[in-house]
Each structure stands twice: as structure tokens, then as C-alpha cells.
Amino acid sequence: MAVCTAVVLCATGLLGGTATAAQRSPDPAPPPDGDARHLDEVRKEIEGLYRTAERATEDYNAAEEQVQLQQKKIVQLARTIDSGQQRLAALKRRAGALASAQYRTGGIPPEARLLLSPDPESFLANADLTRKGQQAVKGVISQLTHLQRDLQGYAQDAGHRWGQLDADRKKKDAARTEINDRIDAAKKLESRLAAKEKERLRKLEDDQALLAQQKWLDSGALKDITGKASEQGKKAISYATSQIGKDYVWGAVGPDTFDCSGLTLRSWQAAGRTIPRTSQEQWRQLPRVALKDMRPGDLIIYFSDASHVGMYVGDGAIVHAPRPGRQVTLTGAGSMPILGVVRPDGDPAR
């Protein structure tokens, strides 16, 4: 895997360095400075719009996860309440039967029944049974009281869950609106460019990523990274790299399209590990490792808000789902600002 990855990375320039003249296509004539500045401004604006959309996508994913959780909890509570109500009805029937039995005795105190009884010995023999009956009545009343209190609590919890579900749905809808607005704005900006400008814009994006990667490599970060992938890590990498070329779609978790955290989620599921849905939760919940201890299969979390994630595949590269309009691809691990590294398959000390 490492050799294959290295070949791909060298061919695409992800490891930095200088390609030979024979390998490099002739560069088009440089555009006038004014055009270059204009295109770079467009690139920055488009990048900003897609970054906002990506943050909103992770918000959407988190809200969607909460909606599903609240729905499951409400269903569980409904079943618990239904079962409790059936038990309550059974206890009420039992309490009624015990009350009827007491009524049939005439409600006379035990001392009086002893004095009036023609057969005191028989009465005393049954006294223990009487006491047990009274204890049974008290037990049923106690159960009824506790069950009614529990049902009240379940009902209040269900009401809270419904309120939370409504709030999560509103968050989800707001995030969806923001995502669509930002993506539409970015697409409109791109649509105003001529075909040659679009080509130059893509090259400008690639050049910026390569420049950032080269700075990262020049910092010496890669020389200390020598870790080998675990068996599960190899499976996760195999799945992730087999998705290369598939479209990025926000909120998608495969099998045909992915967003950034959808790709890492499915890749590690294929390796037998369940990890959180969003990049923020992956950063928050998974064990963190130092960059120098990173190994293939680990997840690199990007940007200060943890809104992007890629999987390290070795040789200074990640596989990731970049943004709308792009496909799952390999790129330099240092091509974006690194927040940190997490390891889905174990203790950070390993």
C-alpha cells in the first residue's frame, strides 16, 4: 500500500519536490497581473463560501444524528409508557379484588372478630393469613404509587424529547438552507468564468494546496512520522481509497457519494469500528495522538472549528472528500491547516 501510494503521490506532486521537464506539461502563458489578482480573489471567495457550507454540513449532520436519536428515544418511551399503563391496569384490578375481599369480612377489627368468633383457635390459625393479606394490599398500593410516579416521569421525558426533536429539526433545516445558499453562491461565481478561467482557477486551487503541502514538508513534520498501519487501519485505508473518484455530496455517507466525515465513518465501519458521524465529534471523542506518532489509518482533523477530516494513508498524504463539485481524492496532508490527529482503533499510547 505504501509503495503504491508513493507512486501516486509522486505522480501528482503531493510529496513536493520538482518534476522534470519531460514530466511536466508546458505551462500556459501567464495571465496579466490584473486578471491573476481577480482570479485569486474569486478563488478566495469561492473557498470561503465552500468552507461556510462545509461547517454548515457538519452542523446538519450533527442535527440529523440528534433527530434520529430523539426519535428512537421517543419510540422507546412510548413503549415503556404503554407497558407501564398495562401494568397499572393489572395492579388496579388486583387492588380492587383485595378491597372486595376486605369488604366481605365486614371491616370488623381483628380484636372484635376474635371475641365474637365461635372458634377462636380457627381465627388465630387464620390471623397470619390475614396479616399477609393486609401486607399484600399495602404492597399493591405502594407499587401503584411508584408506577404512577414513573409514568408521570416518562410522560415529562417524552414531552422534553418532543421539544428537543423540534429544535433539532429546526437546526437541521437552518443548516440545509445555509448549505444550499453558500453552494449556489459559489456555483454562480464559477459559472461567470469562461472555460479557460475555470481551468486556471482549478490550477490555482491545486497550486495553493501544493504550496501549503510544501511548507508543511519543509517544516520537517514528515521525517518523524514512521508509524505503520494496524490491520484495521489497512482495511479502512483500502475502503477509503477504493472510493476515489466518487462525488462529494453534503450529508452523504455512501455508497455512491460522500461528504468528508461520511467517508471516514464508512471507511472505519468497513474495518469493524463505529466512530462518530461528524468531524467535530470525531475530534472530541476519539483518542488523540501527536502528529509525530501518526500512522496510516489515523484521521487528520482540519481547521480550528474541526470542520474537515481526511484519512492519513502514509507518505505525507490523505484521502478525503474535499467539497461540492469535487471528488474523493488523494492530496497532501499539510495542504490545509491541521488541528490535530485522532486514532479510531485504539489507545493513543499505542
Q: SS3 helix, strand, coil % of the chain, rounded to 5?
A: 65, 10, 30
Considering the candidates 4, 38, 146, 308, report the single residue annotated as catalytic.
Answer: 308
Q: Considering 154, 169, 192, which residue would you say is the last residue of a domain?
A: 192
Q: Are residues 205 and 350 in the same domain?
A: yes
Res 18: pLDDT: 32
Asked whether residue 252 is assigned to any structural domain, the reply reads: yes
End-to-end Cα spacing for the chain: 21
Q: Are residues 140 and 215 in the same domain?
A: no
Res 223: pLDDT: 87
Determine the structural domain holding residue 281 and report its residue range: 197-350
Res 97: pLDDT: 73
Res 114: pLDDT: 45
Cell of 220: 520537517
Query: Is there a catalytic annotation at residue 308?
Result: yes
Q: Distances in Å between the alpha carbon of 315 and those of 7, 14, 334?
A: 10, 9, 11
Spatial CB neighbours of 40, under 8 Å, sequence gap ≥ 6: 204
Query: Is there a catalytic annotation at residue 38?
Result: no
Q: Are residues 157 and 48 in the same domain?
A: yes
Q: Are residues 132 and 259 in the same domain?
A: no
Alpha helices (runs of H) in 192-303, residue ranges in sequence order: 195-218, 231-241, 260-270, 279-285
SS3 278: coil
Q: Are residues 169 and 269 in the same domain?
A: no
Cell of 120: 377462636
Res 155: pLDDT: 86
Q: Distances in Å between the alpha carbon of 160 and those of 67, 69, 254?
A: 13, 13, 33
* Contact yes or no for 25/31 (Cβ under 8 A): no
Q: Are residues 259 and 112 in the same domain?
A: no
Q: Are residues 220 and 148 in the same domain?
A: no
Q: Are residues 295 and 177 in the same domain?
A: no
Query: Is there a catalytic annotation at residue 320?
Result: yes
Asked whether residue 105 is assigned to any structural domain, the reply reads: yes
Task: Give the distance from CA 323 to its chain's centroid.
Answer: 18
Q: Are residues 147 and 271 in the same domain?
A: no
Asked whether residue 267 is assigned to any structural domain, the reply reads: yes
Q: Considering 148, 175, 192, which residue would you say is the last residue of a domain?
A: 192
Res 101: pLDDT: 63
Amino acid at 262: G
* Contact yes or no for 277/269 (Cβ under 8 A): no
Paired sense of beta strands 299-302 and 329-332, if any: unpaired
* Contact yes or no for 154/77 (Cβ under 8 A): yes
Asked whether residue 9 is assigned to any structural domain, the reply reads: no
Considering the candidates 4, 10, 160, 320, report the single residue annotated as catalytic.
Answer: 320
Amino acid at 153: G
Asked whether residue 95 is assigned to any structural domain, the reply reads: yes
Res 10: pLDDT: 45
Q: Are residues 112 and 231 in the same domain?
A: no
Cell of 291: 502528529
Asked whether residue 22 is assigned to any structural domain, the reply reads: no
Q: What is the CATH number of the domain that holds 90?
A: 1.10.287
Q: Are residues 148 and 79 in the same domain?
A: yes
Asked whether residue 58 is assigned to any structural domain, the reply reads: yes
Q: Are residues 115 and 212 in the same domain?
A: no
Cell of 115: 371475641
Asked whether residue 15 is assigned to any structural domain, the reply reads: no
Task: Give the distance from CA 150 to its chain's centroid.
Answer: 32
Considering the candidates 10, 38, 160, 260, report the single residue annotated as catalytic.
Answer: 260
Q: What is the CATH number of the domain that holds 216?
A: 3.90.1720.10
Q: How many domains does the chain have?
A: 2
Q: What is the pLDDT along the chain (350 residues), one digit of tens a residue?
A: 543 444 344 434 555 443 333 333 344 444 445 567 788 899 899 999 999 999 999 999 999 999 999 999 898 888 888 888 888 788 777 777 766 665 555 554 554 454 445 555 554 555 555 555 566 667 777 777 787 888 888 888 888 888 988 998 999 999 999 999 999 999 999 888 888 898 898 899 999 999 999 999 999 988 888 899 999 999 999 999 999 999 999 999 999 999 999 999 999 999 999 999 999 999 999 999 999 999 999 999 999 999 999 999 999 999 999 999 899 999 999 999 999 999 999 764 44
Whether the predicted model's global pTM rises above the 0.75 cut: no
